[in-house]
Amino acid sequence: MGDLGQESNPSFVLRAVKDVKLEDIPKPTITDPYDVIVHIGQTGICGSDVHYWQRGRIGDFILESPIVLGHESAGTVVDIGSKVKNLKVGDRVAIEPGVPCRHCDYCRSGSYNLCPDTVFAATPPHNGTLSKFYKTAADYCYPLADHLTLEDGALCEPVAVAVQVCKVGNVRPGQTVVVFGCGPIGLLVQCVAKAYAAKKVIGIDMSASRMELAKSVLKCADETFAPPRMPKADGEAYDADKESEWSAKVAAQIKDAFNLGEGPDVVIDATGAQSCIQTGVNLCKKGGTYVQAGMGKENIIFPITTACIRDLTIRGSIRYTAGVYSAAVDLVASGKVDPKVLITHRYSFEKAEEAFETVRKGGEHVLKVIIEGVKDN
């Protein structure tokens, strides 16, 4: 785990499913002339980190040996390779956590999020960023403006996810965009859509406090909507046909509530919940775009006939493509997106497991949880 070196490197290590420990591992050393070593200052916790901790796998990525967790990070450059020109020691940087191979057709086309050989932080078998020191490629680090904090830098990662979602959805000025979910990614997608001059942004969630955050604090949603739960008698068995019919009714309610006519131009689901997905597809206008950003159950009942009849463009979104991360950093630097508003909990490095436990338990008052990096003695 890491290159050999003499200096200690305190790290938050996932040793096996539900088994984490603070360990002192060797500090990485420069092995490529384009490498940099970053002293990590702040790290946000993502649901994928918690998923590996609790279940040990996401799809084809399976935990088979210990890894360091964490991938939403920013820090200070402490060492650079001989050919690094874009950074110098002392620079504060946001870290894009995936470094692709750069040579395959996906990379050459700019879609390096699909590169099969990407070294992505905290995706087995690769170490993540919850260490004192982390080594990565210099061109996947982005200098932070003086007025930005390292917390801002760490949260550029989920902002980049939101930028990619809006890029996939081809969100444009003057459009109406509906986002299912007012969690961190859903809220940031709404912020980015608004920054891209969407005419109307509607956030949908069951949580009144999260919808209030979207509408009144972040001011990224013009309107919000809490979908009614499907009526169900005590002891009544689940009925897939009834759920599908109910989802179509809820979609009609949303159209009526906000005078959407045939529906919004773009629908984005950031929940992964089957009911939201079904409602979202039924909501989208003919010829519109539906983007799946949230991940829940691997297989669901999907209204494919509606998608076909309406000639919908259906896209999935994963990570980020060329130009997305720098765009996210620029949006944060300009103040058009302020991800720090989403921070609800802050922990010291020594309490990293407690921080992860907070995210695991969740709840409507848990949004972004941040872990401060290991300080110099």
> Is the predicted pLDDT of residue 3 greater than 70, yes or no?
no
Q: Record the pTM.
A: 0.96
Tell me if 8-157+321-372 shares its fold with 170-316. Answer: no
Model pLDDT, residue 59: 82
Query: Tokens 């990485």 sit at which residue?
Result: 28
> Is the predicted pLDDT of residue 276 greater than 90, yes or no?
yes
Per-residue pLDDT reduced to its tens digit, 29-50: 999 999 999 999 999 999 999 9
Per-residue pLDDT reduced to its tens digit, 153-180: 999 999 999 999 999 999 999 999 999 9
> Is the predicted pLDDT of residue 248 greater than 60, yes or no?
yes
Per-residue pLDDT reduced to its tens digit, 47-100: 999 999 999 998 889 999 999 999 999 999 999 999 999 999 999 999 999 999
Q: Are 93 and 143 in contact (CB under 8 A)?
A: yes
Model pLDDT, residue 6: 57
- CA atoms of 46 and 39, how far apart (whole Å): 20
Tell me which residue of 212, 216, 75, 88 sits closest to 152, measured CA to CA. 75
> Is the predicted pLDDT of residue 234 greater than 90, yes or no?
no
The domain covering 8-157+321-372 belongs, at the CATH homologous superfamily level, to Medium-chain alcohol dehydrogenases, catalytic domain (3.90.180.10)
* C-alpha to C-alpha distances, 351 to 12, 139, 147, 174, nearest whole angstrom: 10, 31, 28, 45
Model pLDDT, residue 237: 87
Q: By percentage, how much of the chain surpasses pLDDT 70?
A: 98
Span 93-120, average pLDDT: 98
> Quick one: how many helices (H) and strands (E) in the chain?
11, 20
Q: By percentage, how much of the chain surpasses pLDDT 90?
A: 93
Model pLDDT, residue 63: 96
Model pLDDT, residue 96: 98
Q: Are 129 and 84 in contact (CB under 8 A)?
A: no
Buried residues in 331-358 as b, exposed as e (16+ CB within 10 A):
bbbeeebbbebbbebebebeebeebbeb
Q: How confident is the model at residue 235 (pLDDT cuts 50, 70, 90)?
A: confident
Span 118-144, average pLDDT: 97
- CA atoms of 238 and 195, how far apart (whole Å): 41
Model pLDDT, residue 5: 42
> In what helix (H) or strand (E) does residue 92 lie, and over which residues does it extend?
strand 92-95
What pairs with residue 58 in β-bridges? Answer: 61
Considering the domain delimited by 170-316, tell me its CATH architecture. Answer: 3-Layer(aba) Sandwich (3.40)
> Is the predicted pLDDT of residue 4 greater than 60, yes or no?
no
User: Domain ranges in the chain?
Assistant: 8-157+321-372, 170-316
Q: How confident is the model at residue 1 (pLDDT cuts 50, 70, 90)?
A: very low
Per-residue pLDDT reduced to its tens digit, 303-352: 999 999 999 999 999 999 999 999 999 999 999 999 999 999 999 999 99
Model pLDDT, residue 60: 85
